[in-house]
Structure 1
């Protein structure tokens, strides 16, 4: 079979205006970026506000493994499958980050016959949204140091500047730096650092803002640091919010592309789920819900991170009501959760599949806690055996859900018809009674404990006095009603990435807490998680190049 990139290049793409017309978007409402990409204009989106919403379907997954799960591929395949059975459906995805593209993961636009295109554009510069976010973030960084240099009227304590710089690349050398070296002309030296752009609070803000006014308000609320008396200084105090909004004006508009089957796909925003909230933008999701009867979206990594934050942050803040959830699993990944090494995954091992299903069962039970009906999608690989597949289906039945075998990678929408019909059945049965895991007025540390105990099945969360005092201070300052955004390894329910399956009895160590006042949540950094990833020993970048015809090789 052809490779992913060969399949993508062979696609017969429709002009983006024709794709938009399938959702009732007139050509005048699109800002075209060539023939196959466009942004949906804000003035058109404003006209949709009184329309009823379609049904929202979340695609999530078991904990990721090197064996692969295929969450994005399944999201695309389900969207195509819903259209195949006659439903008016659209998908909503995050934009890929350059960091993973050139690091370990490679591209992130689906795979096989379930992809979004133009694949190379989506995985690289796309419509420039991430560059705009990077620029707006670093503009604020520059304004902070400039203000301190020119007399520091706001009396910012340079030791208490909490706003770091960002770039959309994995670069461990920039995690901790000292800036402003080189003498009087270069300012006052201080310790600083870089995060990856997808961990920027501005990325989270853009993905949660509902319009430009809301965007500027949130940008102004960003806390950049503190004075010596520990009172907060905001971006609004620096008069930075206006210029930052200008840089993000176009980036706020959702991007429209298409699947290989020419169905509409919104790809907008891209916060990581292990260090941010892991969902595409609210404005893209809300726009899709006004235009389609079914909207399929994904949340990053496993359900312990992506789905929890989708429900507790995005749905809570945007007033969204999900109708169903799909949990993606592969036989290969379940074997790894059952203790099988990667180079031994090709051999049938029903016992390991059954043991690994404990991870799947944990995620099923967790999603059900939010009152959302669940179906399991078994993303098929050619080496899967009938006995292994039967074991997963039987396990799902024991947990009160159905597991459906999906062949979208090989067969496109024909391989997800059964899943699409099952999702429609769940929706039409009206079983969703969505509610978040905790209330707004629950104390902050209790919110953290609730997530750790009910989602991670830990015995408790461990935090020293400094962390608890900081949470208490933020509560006194009026931030006690904010939701929690856990920053944790994606590979395990615990903070140990090597502890697969469904561990219990562990403790979640809280290393640091950060207030994202503009985004409207508190980031809780657990264990050894990094907000600036590093490159692996052999990064994907080593294999990416142009061939003799000028085409990109190695991106996928």
Structure 2
């Protein structure tokens, strides 16, 4: 009998799984054994710049350990972190820490699972082809940036000497690249190839030129043979964890690959999906892009991670964490607060529970997971386990495809940031950027309004000024950028960088 092992191969100290092949096998053999796992979304608060953070990966690891201790077949699907920005794992990476860590953290945090390097090489080769196309008169401009896993300020804006013409280019971090987005969203190599072909390389006489018009796509897709395979690792307690994809939640789509989540749901009863930052960033993109636009499973429950200090120590920003929890509850997603204690905070537990009760939250899950691991959660997840056991099959959600882009952004601002449509501000030059993007799509045979919206924003703010009174908070729209191959349109909101520098930690 064919099993997942037939699609699994050793890749150094971890394993790689041919998720495309396995899901195709299940579609071709509907009677083959499979599960229909429920998705749990784990997201977090909007961080304070002054407060050190441990990523929510700690909590993914401990939750699956705690669930499995209760006999529930649970797993997690994580994004691979950016090696440069996480400073090679020094702020937690995607591997957790202490008793909430993976068995081979260096394989995750140093990019040794392979997809980052392969995607970077493939997109940089695409740019090289575009540069050659300029030499041959097929392009006048290049619209696809080079990528790097190690950020550099000098690479944010560069000019390449191309003989008669100096060509403006830029460099962004690999996780933010269009090719990474294509890997995240594709469910087969055929789909991936079609998306790469649809990437707009640049323009000739003002008209878009797609890569499929002048290169052989196998040169790119062959480079991604291992990059499209999720890595299988495990927690220190032996719980399985899949790692695949790495876009940032603030400047990209911020979710693991759709095929890795689908595969995990076919293999396990509960699948924890990590979405970066809060409901304003990673969770918003899982719900509005993965679910609404690409048919991913709507979560049966959610866990919203915070620190005690982030939640309570800055009165002007105290509104943000309750906003995240309540937003999910309004979407009929049972949302469980999880408060991660640091050393010296154990005496705060009674007051934290009292505050949670006053806010109308479900009973919070509280513990020092770095120190205590899943053992610190085991006796606190009865209500969480009950919700999972009794959750009905989630209904499909309406797509926003065809909604005018500005209306779509205003909808996100109101629902994900708490800013009503009449306080969405258009920065000078935004409408020009919108018009150029619309014309580019029209000339490429696309509709701008049919592309899925990616809100590009600061990870540390939900609005232009989170410290402003609620009635004065605004969101400013700045510019529009088309990722035609990925089927996405980026709208820049608050301050953000696609080549941010790492913290020294």
Q: 1:491 aligns with which of 453, 460, 464?
A: 460
Deviations 1:196-226 (A, max 9, x none): 1111011111011111111111111111222
Q: Please give the alpha-carbon distance, in whole angstroms, between the structure 1 residues aligned to 2:399 and 2:146.
A: 32
Listed one character per residue, the Cα deviations across residues 476-524 of structure 1 (whole Å, up to 9, x for unaligned) are 532312221111011111145xx45985522222222111112121111
Quickly say closer, same or farther: Cα 1:106–1:375, change in 2 above 3 A: closer
C-alpha contact 1:493 1:502 (8 A) present in aligned 2: no
The DSSP-based 3-state class of the residue aligned with 1:285 is helix
2:140 maps to: 157
Distance of 1:31 and 1:438 partners within structure 2: 37
Report the equivalent of 1:125. 111
What's the RMSD between the two structures over aligned residues?
2.5
Greater shift in the superposed pair: 241-250 or 453-462: 453-462
Q: CA deviation at 1:423?
A: 2.3
Name 1:544's counterpart in structure 2.
Answer: none
Which whole-Å deviations, capped at 9, do the CAs of 1:222-248 have from their partners, x for residues lacking one? 1122232x4321111122532111111
The answer to whether the 8 Å contact 1:53/1:290 transfers is yes
Shift of 1:254: 0.9
Q: Is the 8 A contact 1:216 1:241 kept in 2?
A: yes
User: Are residues 1:60 and 2:26 paired?
Assistant: no
Q: SS of the counterpart of 2:336?
A: strand
Instruction: Determine helix, strand or coil for the equivalent of 2:281.
Output: helix
Q: Deviations over 1:158-188 (max 9, x none)?
A: 2xx211111111211100001126xx4xx74
Secondary structure of the structure 2 residue equivalent to 1:100: coil
Which of the residues 298, 311, 321 maps onto 2:287?
A: 311
- Rounded Cα–Cα distance in structure 1 between residues aligned with 2:92 and 2:101: 14
**Total equivalences in the alignment:** 486
Q: Establish whether residue 46 from structure 1 lines up as the match of residue 13 from structure 2.
A: no
Give the 5 Å matches for 1:343-358. Answer: 357-358=318-319
Given the alignment of the two structures, is residue 453 of structure 1 paired with residue 429 of structure 2, yes or no? Answer: no
Tell whether the 8 Å contact from 2:184 to 2:256 is kept in structure 1 after alignment. Answer: yes
Aligned residue runs from structure 1 range 95-494, under 5 A: 95-102=80-87, 105=91, 107-152=93-138, 156-158=139-141, 161-180=142-161, 184=163, 188-228=165-205, 230-316=206-292, 317-338=294-315, 357-387=318-348, 389-396=350-357, 398-430=359-391, 439-458=400-419, 459-463=423-427, 464-470=430-436, 472-473=438-439, 477-494=446-463
Relative distance call for 1:157 and 1:242 in structure 2 (3 A) is same
CA 1:391/1:126 → structure 2, altered by over 3 Å: closer, same or farther? same
Q: What SS does the aligned partner of 2:495 have? A: coil
Superposed CA deviations along residues 54-98 of structure 1, whole A, max 9, x for unmatched, are 111010011023232541100111111111110111111011211
TM-score where L is the length of structure 1: 0.81
**Cα distance in structure 2, aligned partners of 1:174 and 1:162:** 15
d(CA) in 2 for partners of 1:518, 1:416? 43
Deviations along 1:446-486, whole A, 9 cap, x unmatched? 00111112221222142432134245446753231222111
Q: Unpaired segments of 5 or more residues in structure 1?
A: 1-23, 340-355, 541-556
Deviations 1:224-276 (CA, angstroms, capped at 9, x unpaired): 22232x43211111225321111111110111011110111100110011110
Matched residue SS, 1:486: strand
Q: Distance in 2 between matches of 1:388 and 1:414?
A: 17
- Taking the TM superposition and a 5 Å limit, the aligned residue runs for 1:72-91 are 72-91=57-76
Give yes or no for contact 1:59–1:325 (8 Å, CA) kept in 2: yes
Residue 14 (structure 2) aligned to one of 22, 37, 40 = 37
Maintained 8 Å contact 2:258/2:296: no
d(CA) in 1 for partners of 2:199 and 2:47?
A: 32
8 Å CA contact 1:205–1:218 kept in 2: the answer is yes
Contact 1:73 1:111 in 2 (8 A): yes
Unaligned runs of at least 5 residues, structure 2 = none
Q: CA deviation at 1:386?
A: 4.3
Where 2:26 maps in the other structure, the secondary structure is coil
> CA shift at 1:125, angstroms?
3.1
| Conserved? CA contact 1:514–1:523, under 8 Å | yes
Alignment partners' CA distance in 2, 1:375 and 1:148: 54
Determine the C-alpha separation between the residues in 1 that align with 2:226 and 2:416.
37
